[in-house]
């Protein structure tokens, strides 16, 4: 008997006389179900003595050489969906969009449809070249589902490689610059600083990231407090903070700000301990925070070097209306 990941063959024993072909495969190879072998046989992937056999109920005879080829699994390709996009800029190589809160970037478990990738496939159509051999948009960075703001996506292999290199360098080469704005709880002791704290998946909740002292992935966030709200003579309860990323880890800004004791307003994952703080806000601000229904975090600026022309590019995105309503309510209690 010979076997590898894709092709398996053996000679039928006397004890296997009269066994169904699909059942015999399932008895010999327990890693696949009988129904899966049945489908493979019907698809023409099985042979008896070198002759293709597409009958799952074929009764085998001793001495026959039985073979089956198992094709490599193909990744599910997202389908095109007509979803409106707020396009800031587009050319043959890339597209820059203003992502709304609530839009998932890439299809994954629980979100196979209705994503930015589905929308881009529909919008770009034949203008997409074969990124990795498949016509699809090249995602080089992501924003959390409930984070809004500016994003760039590649439309060609060349653009994908060039942008990926810039994001991998995280601005160390002077090409990439990313700015986020956030409303956070409390007043920062230092109005500007650097949070250098490694991150990894939380051992207690795999859906969350956590700061770790040893191991983890290097993560650095530069922050600057730009306003304290409400303004004097009222006592401030909230700070408006600008963040620049030196690295780009999952949930990085949200985890880092929570780590220094100032989680983002509306962040139910990393700021649940501050939920009671909403009672200290003015009625208008509390209502605006409830209406926001998400973390008050927005990607407001993205700068990079065009991967084809080398031109310096800079795109800005104003905060969306729900964020602005909350900001205004916090300024004027």
Q: Residues 98, 86: contact at Cβ < 8 Å? A: yes
Q: Which has the closest alpha carbon to 295: 258, 332, 260, 261?
A: 258
B/e letters for 300-332, b = 16+ CB within 10 Å, e = fewer, are: bbbbbbbbeeeeebebebebbebbebbbebbbe
Q: Residues 81, 103: contact at Cβ < 8 Å? A: no
Q: Is 151 exposed, middle or buried (0-12, 13-18, 19+ CB in 10 A)?
A: buried
Enumerate the β-bridge partners of residue 194. 222
DSSP 76-103: PPPPP------EEEE-SSEEEEEEPTT-
Q: Residues 248, 299: contact at Cβ < 8 Å? A: no
Q: Which has the closest alpha carbon to 96: 39, 23, 173, 178?
A: 178
| Cβ-Cβ contacts under 8 Å for 318 (sequence gap 6 or more) | 300, 324
Q: Which has the closest alpha carbon to 259: 195, 216, 188?
A: 195
Four-residue CA torsion sign, 179, 180, 181, 186: negative
- Check residue 64 and give left, alpha or beta (phi > 0: left; psi -120 to 50: alpha): beta
Which residues does the annotation mark as catalytic? 144
Q: Which has the closest alpha carbon to 199: 184, 210, 213?
A: 210
């Amino acid at each position: 008997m010979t076997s590898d990941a894709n092709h398996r063959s053996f000679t039928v024993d006397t004890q296997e006389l009269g066994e169904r072909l699909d059942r015999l495969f399932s008895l010999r190879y327990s890693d696949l179900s009988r129904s899966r072998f049945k489908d493979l046989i019907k698809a023409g992937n099985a042979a008896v003595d070198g002759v293709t056999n597409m009958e799952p109920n074929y009764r085998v005879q001793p001495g026959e050489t039985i073979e089956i080829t198992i094709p490599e699994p193909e990744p599910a390709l997202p389908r095109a969906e007509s979803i409106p996009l707020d396009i800031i800029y587009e050319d043959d190589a890339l597209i820059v969009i203003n992502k709304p809160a609530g839009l998932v970037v890439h299809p994954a478990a629980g979100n196979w449809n209705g994503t930015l990738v589905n929308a881009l496939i529909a919008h770009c159509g034949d203008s997409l070249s074969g990124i990795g051999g498949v016509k699809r948009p090249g995602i080089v960075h992501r924003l959390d589902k409930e984070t809004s703001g500016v994003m760039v996506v590649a439309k060609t292999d060349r653009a994908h490689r060039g942008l990926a290199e810039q994001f991998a360098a995280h601005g160390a080469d002077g090409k990439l610059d990313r700015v986020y704005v956030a409303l956070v709880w409390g007043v920062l002791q230092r109005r500007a600083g650097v949070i250098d704290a490694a991150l990894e998946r939380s051992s207690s909740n795999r859906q969350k990231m956590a700061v770790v002292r040893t191991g983890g992935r290097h993560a650095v966030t530069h922050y600057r407090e730009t306003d304290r709200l409400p303004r004097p003579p009222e006592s401030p309860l909230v700070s408006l903070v600008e963040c620049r990323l030196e690295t780009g880890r999952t949930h990085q800004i949200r985890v880092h700000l929570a780590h220094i004791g100032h989680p983002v307003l509306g962040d139910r994952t990393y700021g649940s301990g501050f939920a009671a703080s909403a009672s200290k806000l003015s009625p208008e601000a509390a209502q605006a925070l409830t209406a926001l229904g998400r973390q008050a975090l927005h990607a407001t600026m993205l700068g990079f070097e065009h991967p084809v022309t080398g031109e310096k590019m800079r795109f800005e995105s104003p905060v969306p209306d729900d964020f602005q309503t909350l900001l205004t309510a916090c300024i004027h209690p």
